[in-house]
Structure 1
Amino acid sequence: MCAKFDLNIEVMKVKTTTKSIEPNIADLANGWLKKYKLDYKLEQESLNSEIDKALSYYFTKNGGAGANRPDVKLLLQDKYQIFFPVLIEYKGYKGKLVKVDANGQVENRTVKNEPNLKNISAYAVNGAVHYANALLHHTSYTDVIAIGMTGYKDDIGKLQYEIGVYLVSKKNLGAGQRVGEFTDFSFLASKNFDAFIEKVNTLDLTQEELDKLKEQREREIDTSLIKLNNDIYQNEKGLGENDRVYLVAASIIATLGIPGKVSPLEKTDLKSSNEKGNKDGDIIIRKIRAFLDEKDIPVEKKNLILRTLENTLTTENINKVENGETQLKRVFTKIVDDLGIYYKIGLTTDFTGKLFNEMYGWLGFSQDKLNDVVLTPSYVASLLVKLARVNKDSYVWDFATGSAGLLVAAMNEMLNDAKNNIQSPDELTQKEIKIKAEQLLGLELLSSVYMLAILNMILMGDGSSNILNTDSIKDFDGKYGFGKPDTKFPADAFILNPPYSASGNGMNFVEKAMNMMNNGYAAIIIQHSSGSGKAVDYNKRILTKHTLLASIKMPIDIFIGKSSVQTQIYVFKVNEKHHKDEIVKFIDFSNDGYARSNRKKSSNNLKDIDRAQERYQEVVDLVRFGKSKLKIFTENEYYEGHIDPNNGADWNQSSPIETQPTLQDFKKTVSAYLSWDISNLLEQYAVDEKLGK
């Protein structure tokens, strides 16, 4: 006989905490540094004042203000006497070397484009990359070595470790690139460092990787601009829209600096003093003047910029000292902290265009009479540039330049073409200088927008000398303006997004610009109605001198959040009369492959859902080469037809619909009618039954 027992056994779960072996990791690694006789500095020690300040300015791993303290800091030189800061972070746990995202990039941002403080704090490489970005943001160093090291003790108590070595630089937009496999720090030893730097210099991102990083950085810019604008709007009273624009422009120019000539203005340089001639506004103006002097900007242009900025920077209220600080210093600090990293890393984007859209998109400006000032999205700007056939030898102008986004896109296209086709480094350098100084010209009437255009071109490498604060219709005579006021600008490429409130929906700009050109191409994005009746007289006159090559219907939501008008792109060949037998390519580009939203808190309001980049390239190819390039688009979306040069209202055509019925169409119609007729009869029969008929 067996006795049966019910045993109630309570299992206690004992929480065990793994102890960090960071001291062991630090002891091993620092021992290597001693062995190689490197002058390294530990957490609390100073490396140099510039690096120390940068680490103290940047937000910490916990998200607040205060000191960032890498475990180890070094400043090493290669054989060319170039300095490379080296920042090392130690951890003492298994699996805590690096956390990357789905694209293999160091994941220091969340999906909401906010700092991923959890990763920065927990992973060695992520922390080191965070510190490296502080240096990109606040120092003149453009290449920083970020090293993470972590480890654990195995079952027999033996120390196991792993090392991550990353380059954080302007050329990878601060994201960080893995350099290679390393089992110790001997690559930092003086005898090995040159070979290591040679390896670093061979690191290249693919165009796809770079595009993804740029896209990510641009989303971060949007988030930072929203934060900055909300902060200034809500907390800094007495500043109008123009004041905010001028403060941002002034702060950025003052902090750019020129290596070896003009030091960047730092937050600590603003003393919030009441001393006459030495107030915060005076200090910023002096720094901007020094910067512009070194840039060799024409005197007239320089004086205009300084005069415009001085009106805001020297006002009494903004320089008044309250609680030991001026409003100007407070705003300057916010601008540098929130935006500095993006213009310091040399991001080739329409930075100030984004700034413009954010600052004016939801404030008073959007309700006033100038609400048709809408900036062109960067991917549309790039499309216009390609449709106008811009290359390294083009001379490009824009008669309503806004924040210069179209000129930035043109400059990037020209520089890329130069790099791809000029083999001599010396010749390439000279060509790049010529492109920026001589081959771009923009006109902008509104002074606040003009200042944004100047800032944008300075940030892109200073192609600002030919941005003119001029009325393109009334006052522009086709000449350079600054520097060469008597020389005609030899334009052969015209790009434009005009204010639609202008005469003929903006076709007045088109007529004047193309009539001042001897040859070349033009691509404009304009209100749809300008080609269907609102600009008939302009259009007929244009066609007596120029050929319409293509008419492209754009998505209705291309300017979502800013404007809801239907737009069209028209492409012209300049200075060749349009004949009635000319073939015009009509493209329905309503589906451009992008999905757009206008959610303030969205991390990405533009999503590629259907081969968007391929679609944009196909539009360029169709306009240039014709029907043989049809791949993604159907013949319902691409149509080759004709317009009447004497009409002026027939520019927006679509593919003809087949009107002759087929036998199948007839069968469907008869079937539908019979179905409807029988249904009616059955319903009537049911009603008659109820009535007893």
Structure 2
Amino acid sequence: MAVKTQSVEPNVADLGNGWLKAHKLDYKLEQESLNTAIDKALDDYYSKNGGVGGNRPDAKLLLQDDRNAFFPIIIEYKGYKDKLVALDTNGVVDNRKSKNEPNFKNINAYAVNGAVHYANALLHHTSYTDVIAIGMTGHKDESGHLQYEIGVYYVSKSNLGAGQRVGDYTDFSFLAKPHFSAFIDKVRSLQLSPEEMERLKNQREQEIEAHLVRLNNHIYQNEKGLGENDRVYLVAASIIATLGVPGKVDPLEKSDLKSSNERGNRDGDIMVRKIRAFLNEKNIPQEKNDLILRTLENTLTAENINKVAHGETQLKRIFSNIVDDLGIYYKIGLTTDFTGKLFNEMYGWLGFSQDKLNDVVLTPSYIAVLLARLARVNMNSYVWDFATGSAGLLVAAMNEMLIDAKQKITSPEELAHKEARIKAEQLLGLELLPSVYMLAILNMILMGDGSANILNKDSLTDFDGKYGYKKDDHQPGRFPADAFILNPPYSAAGNGMNFVKKAMNMMNKGYAAIIIQGSAGSGKATTINRSILQRHTLLASIKMPIDLFIGKSSVQTYIYVFKVNEPHQRDEMVKFIDFSHDGYTRTNRKKASNNLKDTDNAKARYDELVALVRFGCSKLYLFSETSYFENTIDPHNGADWNQTIPSDPRPTLMDLQKTVGDYLAWEVSCLLQQRIEVPPGK
């Protein structure tokens, strides 16, 4: 019978804590309090076994560098050989299973994995955005001497909570006051490659979807008396209330909701006050401020949701679930269409007819990025969307603009000014439906507060082309749009081409990229299309995969790309591209960890598509020649926008050779058959 190896964790802890003591560091052991925010975060976060609370790191500190920034330090000890860290195949701390569920086995067994788990509790439930997670383990060799190893990881908003290894260390002296600032300088210099960041972002997005499904399931099944709009407003209100404004508005905590019956101090009243304080600090126009508050207040102050039962209101219960399930995802600053995912999940529960459903399905984030690139968005663009939904297209455009700015501007101060200008002045969206409008506002607030010019207006009848709000203008002027992106409601005139006509006719220059039901280009919008071509040029027509909106809609979509304010000439060559095979495989399995998989070089195919639209056939590489051709359209037709490559009826030499070969094979077969049928000797 094998003898079980004895853990030497007490020895490891004694050594590590001895170093902390020697450097006169004010550390706290697992049962001791560090500060209220950190203690509460560890109690509120799910434990290493999957329950609630009970997160007790072996040691913890709060250190300050020479810039007066605070860094929580979390230390976890283990006492076995090879139990320092478990990494996945990409070299990332392996705290998630393939279906994006917590990997409690690794979190429990490995020192670094446990420390990173605790660090994520702080990202989720506190205002700290940068945490140092340290794991240390050891064993005794044949001579009885303690052998140990240390893992030091940086867990932050910037790496989406996944953690980055900082370097090799043989003791904890890097935490000592003389060395800590130099250590933090090294931490700040860490960079994830674009590929690593994209992989982590995709993983986090899959986690978001799983959490949104779980949250919506819970609210739908357990919280009665709430309409679909109420659910949307509750999520929006809860997230806004917990964002806070550093140094000015504290984030709303679960403990702030007292479930009191006192008028003016009910849970809903408290949330309304917190949201009002947040919006006031954002300096958005009073009219818009009032609209947001009025919309949310109707749900937050309703009698039933504030009724105390068993010591708790329904509002507090829902707020707690939202914060616990989603908190980390909007606090770590994901550059993704967060509320777009939320919107699609919540509206998936509604009993829309198929036609109505088509009008509320939002654009997948990778298609939103494609539209922004096809519209040639850069850091100096002015981008608008006339049916903005949850603002997913504007989020994608904003991210493209910010990326371009970071690549071109080397002065940190100039870059900060440019980023603020992009968010405040270079984006404009219009959305008519109040519940969807609230999601658009929330999305742009989460993405850095580009919400100023999201307008609750009918873009066809109630929009004059002016800014909703511009800080340096008392009377805001016209929005100088030069990039237009759109996924219109297909039930509108011409499948939504009326939005395209209105927007482009208000632009002086630039490009437009729209995704729309294919019938808009083959007969459903003939009159509108002819009118569009009188003023604008169709550059490209792209046939998209039929399953692009799988599970939401099954319509065939096309992307049309235009050059604005340049009439379409009869001899203008239009690029017709069949993008039915885009490299992605899509499924619609509710329990699947990922319903979108890159199975055939999808990223490179999307890059090539953008290059083809801009530069033509010289960029053909992955695409087959049958997927791309150029031809003219009749500007007076309006129904010839979905052309396919024509087949040549003339026979080729190969055709002739095949025909002759087939004929000869047939003749030989007939001769052999006759020989078999003639009896021997006849």
Structure 2 vs 1, CA of residues 565 and 369 (structure 1 numbering), >3 Å: closer, same or farther? Answer: closer
Matched, 1:444 2:431: yes
The residue number in structure 2 matching 1:397 is: 384
- Which of 187, 192, 212 matches 1:200? 187
The Cα of 1:166 is off from its aligned counterpart by 0.3
For residue 328 of structure 1, the aligned residue among 315, 329, 343 is 315
**Matched residue type, 2:216:** N
Q: 1:141 aligns with which of 114, 121, 128?
A: 128
Q: Distance in 2 between matches of 1:272 and 1:687?
A: 98
2:411 — aligned with what? 424
CA distance in 2, matches of 1:400, 1:86: 46
Q: Which position in structure 1 is the counterpart of 2:450?
A: 463
Which of residues 574, 577, 594 in structure 2 aligns to 1:587? Answer: 577
- Equivalent residue letter for 1:479: K
User: Which piece of structure 1 moves more, 621-630 or 657-666?
Assistant: 657-666
Deviation at 1:672, TM superposition (A): 4.4
Q: Secondary structure at the match of 2:57?
A: coil
Q: What is the DSSP-based 3-state SS (H/G/I as helix, E as strand, rest coil) of the residue aligned with 1:171?
A: helix
| Selected match of 1:257 from 239, 244, 262 | 244
Per-residue CA distance 1:645-691 (angstroms, 9 max, x = gap) = 011111111222222112321343355467678889999999999xx
SS of equivalent to 2:626: coil
Does 2:555 match 1:565?
Answer: yes
The one of 472, 477, 480 aligned to 1:490: 480
What residue is the counterpart of 2:206 in the other structure? 219
1:288 Cα offset (Å): 0.4
Amino acid corresponding to residue 502 of structure 1 in structure 2: A
Q: 1:276: which partner in 2?
A: 263
**Distance (whole Å) between structure 1 residues aligned to residue 156 and residue 344 of structure 2:** 28
Counterparts of 1:507 and 1:291, CA distance in 2? 38
Q: Which amino acid aligns with 2:627?
A: E
> For residue 247 of structure 1, what is the aligned residue in structure 2?
234
Letter in 2 for 1:397: W
In the TM superposition, what are the counterparts of 1:526-605 in structure 2 within 5 Å? 526-605=516-595
Equivalent residue letter for 1:544? Q
C-alpha displacement of 1:194: 1.1
Residue 363 of structure 1 and its aligned partner are, at CA, apart by: 2.5
Name the CA distance, whole Å, in 2 between partners of 1:295 and 1:17. Answer: 60
> Residue 146 of structure 1 contacts residue 168 of structure 1 at CA under 8 Å; is this kept in 2?
yes
Name the counterpart of 1:231: 218
Query: What SS does the aligned partner of 2:166 have?
Result: strand
Find 1:618's aligned residue among 582, 587, 608: 608
Match of 2:90, SS? coil
Residue 541 of structure 1 aligns with an amino acid whose one-letter code is: S
Cα offsets for 1:269-321 (capped at 9, x unmatched): 00111000111110111000000000111110010000000111111111111
Distance 1:357 1:681, change over 3 A: farther
Q: CA deviation at 1:369?
A: 3.2
2:55 pairs with 68, 80, 89, which one? Answer: 68
Equivalent-residue separation in structure 2 for 1:365 and 1:173 (angstroms): 35
Report the TM-score when normalising by structure 1: 0.95
CA RMSD between the two structures: 1.8
Does the 8 Å contact 1:97/1:149 carry over to 2?
Answer: yes
**Which residue in the other structure is 2:295 paired with?**
308
- Which residue of the partner structure matches residue 407 of structure 1? 394
Q: Is the 8 A contact 2:358 2:490 kept in 1?
A: no
1:209 to 172, 196, 199: 196
Where do 1:96-111 residues align within 5 Å? 96-111=83-98
> Residue 107 of structure 1 aligns to which amino acid in structure 2?
D
Letter in structure 2 aligned against 1:630: L
Q: 1:143 to 1:486 in 2, by over 3 A?
A: closer
1:496-528, CA deviations, whole angstroms, 9 ceiling, x for partnerless residues? 000111100100000000001111100000111
Matched residue, 2:341: 354
User: Per the alignment, in what secondary structure is the counterpart of residue 604 of structure 1?
Assistant: coil
SS in 2 for 1:249: helix
Corresponding position: 1:154 with 2:158: no
Structure 1 residue 487: deviation in Å? 1.4
DSSP-derived class of the 1:118 partner: helix
> 1:15, CA displacement in angstroms?
3.3
Decide whether aligned partners of structure 1 residues 335 and 671 sit closer, same or farther in structure 2, where only a CA change above 3 A counts: same
What amino acid is the match of 1:449? V
Secondary structure of 2:443's aligned partner: helix
Among 631, 650, 655, the residue aligned to 1:641: 631
- Taking the aligned partners of 1:613 and 1:480, their CA distance within structure 2 comes to 35
Aligned counterpart in structure 2 of residue 36 of structure 1, from 23, 26, 34:
23
Deviations 1:462-493 (A, max 9, x none): 00011111111111111113456641111111
User: 1:6 — aligned with what?
Assistant: none
> Do the aligned residues in 2 keep the contact of 1:357 with 1:375 (CA within 8 Å)?
yes
Task: Name the counterpart of 1:10.
Answer: none
Partner deviation per Cα, 1:199-223 (whole Å, 9 max, x = no partner)? 1111110011000000100010011
- Tell me what 1:509 maps to: 499
- Match of residue 38, structure 2, among 41, 51, 72: 51
Give me the whole-angstrom Cα distance separating, in 2, the residues matched to 1:640 and 1:500. 27
CA pair 525-185 structure 1, distance change in 2 beyond 3 A: same
**Secondary structure of 1:193's partner?**
helix
8 Å CA contact 1:300–1:482 kept in 2: the answer is no
Which amino acid is the alignment partner of residue 660 of structure 1? R
The unaligned stretches of length 5 or more in structure 1 are 1-13
Deviation at 1:66, TM superposition (A): 2.0
How far apart, CA to CA, are the structure 2 residues paired with 1:685 and 1:471? 82
Query: Residue 653 of structure 2 aligns to which amino acid in structure 1?
Result: L
AA partner of residue 141 (structure 1): Y
Deviates more, 1:565-574 or 1:651-660: 651-660
- Aligned partners of 1:43, 1:561: CA distance in 2, in Å? 47
The DSSP-based 3-state class of the residue aligned with 2:452 is: helix
| Cα distance in 1 for residues equivalent to 2:666 and 2:273 | 83
Q: Which moved more, 1:486-495 or 1:133-142?
A: 486-495
Judged with a 3 Å threshold, the aligned counterparts in structure 2 of structure 1 residues 688 and 290 are, in CA distance, closer, same or farther, namely: farther
TM-score when normalising by structure 2: 0.97
Q: Is the 8 A contact 1:365 1:371 kept in 2?
A: no
Secondary structure in 2 aligned to 1:99? coil
Question: Which stretch of the first structure deviates more once superposed, 88-97 or 631-640?
Answer: 631-640
1:267 Cα offset (Å): 0.4
1:287 pairs with 274, 293, 301, which one?
274
What's the CA shift string for 1:440-467, capped at 9, x where partnerless? 0001111111110000000000000111
Q: Does residue 663 in structure 1 map to residue 653 in structure 2? A: yes
Does the C-alpha gap of structure 1 residues 688 and 97 become closer, same or farther in structure 2, counting only changes over 3 Å?
same
Task: Give, in angstroms, the shift of residue 193 of structure 1.
Answer: 0.6
Confirm whether residue 122 of structure 1 aligns to residue 109 of structure 2. Answer: yes
Contact map agreement 2:354 2:553 (CA 8 A) in 1: no
**Distance in 1 (alpha carbons) for counterparts of 2:125 and 2:240:** 14
Query: Contact between 2:31 and 2:56, CA under 8 Å: does it hold in 1?
Result: yes
- d(CA) in 1 for partners of 2:43 and 2:630? 63
State how far apart, in whole Å, the 2-side matches of 1:422 and 1:183 are. Answer: 39
1:267 and 2:254 correspond? yes
- State the identity as a percent: 75
SS at match of 2:208: helix
